[in-house]
Amino acid sequence: MSAKHARSAKRYTRFAAICLAGATILTMATVAIVFYCVAQLGGDTTSAKLSLHGNLLRAAGVGAALSLVLVVKAAFFVFQARRLHLRELADAIRYFGSGDLTAQVTPLRVDTRGAGDINELQTNFAAMTERVADKVRQLTLAEDSLRGSVAELSHDLRTPLALLRGYVETLLEKGASLPPADQREYLRITLRHAAKLERLVSELFELTELDAPDVHVEFAPVALDDLIEDLMGEFALRAEAVGVRLSREDCEGLPLVNVDARLIERVFENLIENALRFTPAGGAITIACRVVQGAAETEIRDTGKGIDPRDLPHVFDRFYRSRDSDKQGGSGLGLAIVKRILQLHGSEITVVSRPGLGSTFTFMMPIHPGVAAETKGS
């Protein structure tokens, strides 16, 4: 309630209380006079006593009339106070209906001591407007995020497309005069950017599918040690080609986990690929597992260059690329996909990194209920 309306309502409430107090006193005095007259009259009917009692009864009548007037005045002041409450509510509804939500961010301040249902209505309306304003703020943030994502996506698509067009036009216009070595180099660059573009579009579609409200996660018992062994075989040649040692630690004899095998495999692939991009020759990548409080905790550690502290809070943001990611061919979606998949499994991922020493990504997977731990070959 505005300060002006609050002062007026408080003044009306005070006047009503004074009038009711006066009416109560007059009523009590009137009743006392009437009882006194009845008690004292008895059989004495002298003119003097009758005159006295008549005067007292007339005074009692005047008191009763004044008491009634004060009650009416008190009712008027109460009505005025309630009217201010209703006016405040009507103003709030009018502002709300006009689309101006700035006044609804702060709940209405109401006097809950005497407004009854009106105060309850105001309080509920204030709570509703606060919820609506909060939803509007969330939608605004989401719109800003979407606008930024579209801008980033446009940039990411425009750059490789422009390069592809440039090299193709060069080959078409000067192909006959270019040395074979230059032609092959131009084709290799074109192929590299085409692969980058294909990867970006593929990850974008994948993330869109994961964000869909009807996304389906097929939970099933999965042998984590077998999954990791398959991944080791998949990435062994790539790691060897760049001079990085890929190993696993304590990943045998693990209990079955309750996950979507296809999605969790994607989590491992993205994290290992990310580690390979940022780990120089001579470094190492380790996959470590252990059971912690009824869940399988997995770490993927690398001895790469680490993550800049300024980038660390944003590594899971969509389209965010660190200061080195452009050089390494990152799309800015790989870790966002990892985070989203783990959210669908009711899990989160954390990262600890020290520049120059490497990074460790850690996440949990639920152990399948009712399934005994299985060891490899059992």
Q: What token pair was written down for 304? A: 């790469």
Is there a single domain that holds both residue 187 and residue 269?
A: no
Q: What span, in angstroms and rounded, lies between the C-alpha atoms of 370 and 62?
A: 88
Do 227 and 356 belong together in one domain? Answer: yes
> How much is the pLDDT for 349?
93
What pLDDT, in 10s, does the model give residues 238-286?
899 999 999 988 777 788 999 999 999 999 999 999 899 889 999 999 9
**pLDDT the model gives residue 342:** 93
Do 201 and 224 lie in one domain? The reply is: no
> What's the pLDDT at 104?
44
pLDDT confidence bin for 187, thresholds 50/70/90: confident
Same domain, 51 and 160: no
Predicted confidence at residue 106, as pLDDT, reads 38
Q: 147-156 long-range CB contacts below 8 Å, 24 or more apart?
A: 148/319, 149/318, 149/319, 152/319, 152/332, 153/204, 153/319, 156/200, 156/319, 156/331, 156/332
Indicate whether 204 and 259 sit together in one domain: no
Residues 35 and 84 grouped into a single domain: yes
Residue 193 within any structural domain of the chain: yes
Average pLDDT over residues 186-215: 81
> Residue 140 has what pLDDT?
75
pLDDT digits (tens, 9 = 90+) for 32-84: 777 777 666 555 556 666 576 677 677 777 777 887 877 787 777 777 777 77
Higher-confidence residue: 150 or 206?
206
Overall number of domains in the chain: 3
Give the residue numbers spanning the domain of 185: 148-211
Question: What CATH number should be reported for the domain holding residue 175?
Answer: 1.10.287.130
From 37, 65, 100, give the residue that closes a domain.
100
